[in-house]
Amino acid sequence: MSPTLDDPVRAAVESYVDETLRSMPEHLRAGVVAESVLFGVRLRLEHAFGRAVDAEVRARVERWKTSRVDFVRQYVRLLQSLVLFAENEFTPSVR
C-alpha cells in the first residue's frame, strides 16, 4: 500500500500493522483473516502463474475502495488507515 517507503521504514510499518492486527479481539481478527484469504487467493494464483502486475493489483484495490459491498470497503479502509498511521509514526520527519 506504500510503494515509496525505504526498506527500514517499510519493515517498521509492516511490523506495526502486524502487531496491531494481532492485538485485535478474536472475532474481529477472524473477519480480517477471512477477507485476506478471500481476496488473496486470486492474487497468489496470479503470482504463481506470473500474471500479477502491480498496476492491475493497484487497480483492483482502487475498485475495492468504491465497492458497493460494505465489508470490502471496510477491509481496505482498515488496512490503509493502519498503514497511514504507521507511515506517519515511523517515517523520519524532514526539518
Q: For position 51, what pLDDT does the model report?
A: 78
Q: For position 19, what pLDDT does the model report?
A: 94
With H, G, I as helix, E, B as strand and everything else as coil, classify residue 92. coil
The three three-digit cell numbers of residue 76, written as one number: 481496505
pTM beyond 0.85: no
Number of residues that make up the chain: 95
* DSSP letters for 41-69: HHHHHHHHTT---HHHHHHHHHHHHT-SS
| Low-confidence residues in the chain, pLDDT < 70 | 1-4, 93-95
Residue boundaries of the structural domains of the chain: 7-89
